[in-house]
Amino acid sequence: MSDSVPIDHALLLSAALFALGTLGVFLRRHLITIVMSIELMLNAANLAFIAFSRSHGTIDGQILVFFVMTVAAAEAAVGLAIIIALDRIKRSIDVDAFDWMKW
Amino acid sequence: MEAILFYGLAALAVVAAIAVVAQPNPVTSALALIVTLCCLSGIFGLLGSPFIAALQIVVYAGAIMVLFLFVLMLLNVEPERSPSGPRLALVAGALAATLAAQVGWVLLQTDRGTGVAGFHVRTRQMAMILFSPEGRFLYAFEMVGVLILAALVGAIVLSREDLP
């Protein structure tokens, strides 16, 4: 491979960042940090797209990253609006405060 | 040179991502996430996509993270008082490590092509694919515009004071 940046290591970085994002979703108790962890996972997926786009020499991966970014922006806007609404109801954004649907 | 830059940015990205997950203050988490996103932007640039790198700074580090910080300030969020217990942390860490190993293994099994020397996508090429009527992505692009509009309306409705 005639690359100065090793694609394999970029892919491994992507896997590591994705796992750290899931760890955040497991461990954190604030809704807003959980949404941040999801953003981290989306970025890890974007990195894999860019790395594959480079190693295959095609542009499609980058187009897909463009769409992922716009969808992530929409998701962040709606998610944060939901968090504001939940905070208005319970005066807390701790996940343990929201157990209405727990059986 | 590029390899040194890549490993430096990658190490900083991982350290900042650990800081996002591991410390209790949400504002610090947001700032650490901005560091991670900026490092990823540099890596995108090194991997031959300067347009996506610029978009990463403008959209993610600029717009989305400002929105996060704005909400954090608006709600006056306290640091987490009830951190998850050590047992949950152990189980979650084991699960995440397994996930990282599996995802890494699968990514390394897939066909990674042969690599293209001097691969570099210009903004003009992106625009030609996204906007030309013969391109495959024109309708998807228009649909994304509709999605953004729907998200805008949804966010306004959801955050209203007199939510039903």
- In this predicted complex, what is the ipTM? 0.91
pLDDT at B76 over 90: no
Judge whether residue A1 has pLDDT over 60. no
Question: Around Cβ A101, how many Cβ atoms within 10 Å?
Answer: 5
Q: Would A73 be classed as within a structural domain?
A: yes
Q: How far apart are CA B69 and CA B66, in angstroms?
A: 5
A1 is a domain residue: no
Q: Which of B5, B102, B103 to mutate to test the interface with A (most CBs of A within 10 A)?
A: B103
More confident residue, A102 or A17: A17
Q: pLDDT tens for residues B105-138? A: 998 888 877 767 777 888 888 888 888 887 788 8
How far is the C-alpha of A103 from the C-alpha of A87, rounded, in Å?
A: 22
Q: Which CATH number characterizes residue A66's domain?
A: 1.10.287.3510
Please count the other Cβ atoms lying within 10 Å of the Cβ belonging to residue A25.
18
- The yes-or-no verdict on residue B73 having pLDDT over 70 is yes
Amino acid at A21: G
Q: Which domain holds residue A21?
A: 7-94
Cβ A20–B96 below 8 Å, yes or no? yes
pLDDT above 60: residue B154: yes
Q: How far is B92 from B68, CA to CA, in rounded Å? A: 25
Least confident segment among A39-53, B25-39, B67-81, B106-120? B106-120
Predicted TM-score of the model (pTM): 0.91
Whether B93 has a pLDDT exceeding 50, the answer reads yes
Q: Is A67 on the interface with B (CB under 8 A)?
A: yes
In this prediction, residue A17 has a pLDDT band, given cuts at 50, 70 and 90, of very high
Domain count, chain A: 1
A32 is a domain residue: yes
Q: For residues A51 and A33, give the distance between their C-alpha atoms in angstroms, rounded to a whole number.
A: 27
For B6, name the nearest residue in chain A, comparing CA atoms only: A5
Tell me the three state secondary structure of residue A30. strand
* Residue A69 pLDDT greater than 70, yes or no: yes
Which backbone phi and psi does A94 adopt, to 5 degrees? -75, 135
Residues constituting chain A: 103
Among A52, A53, A76, the residue with its CB nearest the CB of B67 is: A76
Is residue A90 a part of any domain in this protein? yes
